[in-house]
Chain A
Amino acid sequence: MKPKTPLLPLGIAGQVALLSGVLALVMLASRPLLPAVAALCILLTLAGFQPPEPRRLLHPRRLLLLLLLALPPLFLLGPRNAHWHRLHYSATGAATAMQIALRFTVVMLAVEGFTRTLSISELAGFLERLGLRGLGFSLGVALNLLPALQNSSQTTWHALQMRGGLRKQKRRALSYLVITILSNTLRRAEAIALAAEARAFTPQRARAWPITRRPLDKWLAASLLAALLTLLIYQ
C-alpha cells in the first residue's frame, strides 16, 4: 500500500525541527497549558508526518505501558477525594494521570510519525551535513550488518548451548561467547572495509545523501521556536 503524503510539505530539516519542537513544547508545558499545547502538537504531528498505522499505535504492549504509567497516580497520589460511580480516586492523581497520558500520546505520535516519514539514510544524510562526516556510510554499513550479526550471535549462542551452555565453567563459556561474537563482527567489518577500499571509496570524496528542502521548513522552525519562547516567558 502506498504511504499517504503528509499534509504539510516539509523537507528533512523541517521534519527534524517539527519533532524537536513538538517534544520540547509538550515536555516544557505546565499542567494548565498542557491540554492546549498537546492538542496543537498532535495536529502539527498529524499534518507534518505520515499518519501512523492504527495497528501499530494501538498495539496492546503500548496500551499496557500507557495504563501502567497513568493508572497508579489515580489511586496512589493524594487522598481519594473524588468518585466516579462507586470508584473512588484522587483528584490530584487524576490530573497527573491526564498529564502523563497526554505527554505519552504526543511523544508516541511524534516519534512514530517521524520514523515512518523519514528513512534512516535521509536522517544520516542530514546529520552528515551537520558535521558528522561519514555517518551516512557508517549507518548503511551498520544496517547491512545488523541481520548478519543477529544471526551470527544466535548461531554462537546455540553452539555454546550444545556444548553445555553456561552450566559448566561459566566464566570461560561467557568469554568464549563474547570473543566469538566480536571476532565474527571484526571479520565482517574487515571484508566490508577491503571491498570499500578496493572501490577507492573515501568518506571525504563521497557524495552526501541528497536532502530535500522545502520553503515551509524555515517558517515552521521559526514558528516552533517562537512558540517555545512564548511558552517559556508566559509560564
Chain B
Amino acid sequence: MSQDHVRDEPDDVAVTSPATASPSSTTTSTTTPPNTSRRRFLQSAAAAATVGAAPQLHAQTQPAAPQPVSPPAPAAAPARPVTLQINGREYTLQLEPRVTLLDALREYAGLMGTKKGCDRGQCGACTVLADGRRINSCLTLAVMHEGEAITTVEGLAQNGALSPLQRAFIEHDAFQCGYCTPGQLCSATALLGEFAAGTVSTVSADVRRRPPQLSDDEIRERMSGNLCRCGAYANIVAAVRAVHGSADAGPAGNA
C-alpha cells in the first residue's frame, strides 16, 4: 500500500527525514529552493523564523517538554519513538501516547499542510488518508497508526505535478481563504475512489444498488464532512464533478 504513496519529494520540504533525523535536520528548510510554491515558501519562512527557539517543532530526538496537566495525571506515559509512514517517507517521532495524528503531522513531523480547524471532528480541515481511507486526524492518536501509510495534502502531487483534483480546485476557484482546502482535497481524493468502488451514501436511491452516477447531490453528501466557512461549496462540487467526469482522474481515483 505504501508503494502507492511513495513520492520523490524535493529536498525543500520542511521535514526531518526519518531514521537519520538529527536535531539540526529541522533547519534544512531554511534554504529556499528555486521554484518554491507560496505554501512552501510560507512554511519555510515559518520554520526559519523559529529556528533557535523552535517552539513549533518539538525536538525529534528528545522527549517533549512536560506540559501542565490539571489535575496531575497518574502514571503518565513518557514520549517514546513512534514510526509513521507519511507520504512515502518514514518518520520516527518522539511522541506521548496522547498526541493526536494531527499534532504529530504538524508539530512533530513539521508537515503544516494538514490544518487544525475545530480539533473535535466537526469541520474536516484535518482530513488525511490512512491506508487510502479518509479520516479526521484530530480524533485519533498517532501511536495507533504505526504501520499504516499516511497521505497528507503534501503527498497528493506526484513528482512536482499537482494531482488532477488540485488542478481542478485551481481551475474552478474552489477555495477562497484556503484553510479548509487541504482537507477538502484529501477528502475528495478518497471520495473518487470510494465511488469507483461502488459505495452508497445516504442520498443514494437504493442502498442495494450501486449509484448510477456521481450526481451533485452525491458529491455534496459525500463531502459533507468538510466545512468551508468561505462558502466555496458550489465550486468545490464543480471541481470534483470535473475530475470525476474526465479521463484524467488518474491516481486520485485510486487513492
Partners in one complex: no
Chain B residues in contact with chain A, CB under 8 A?
none
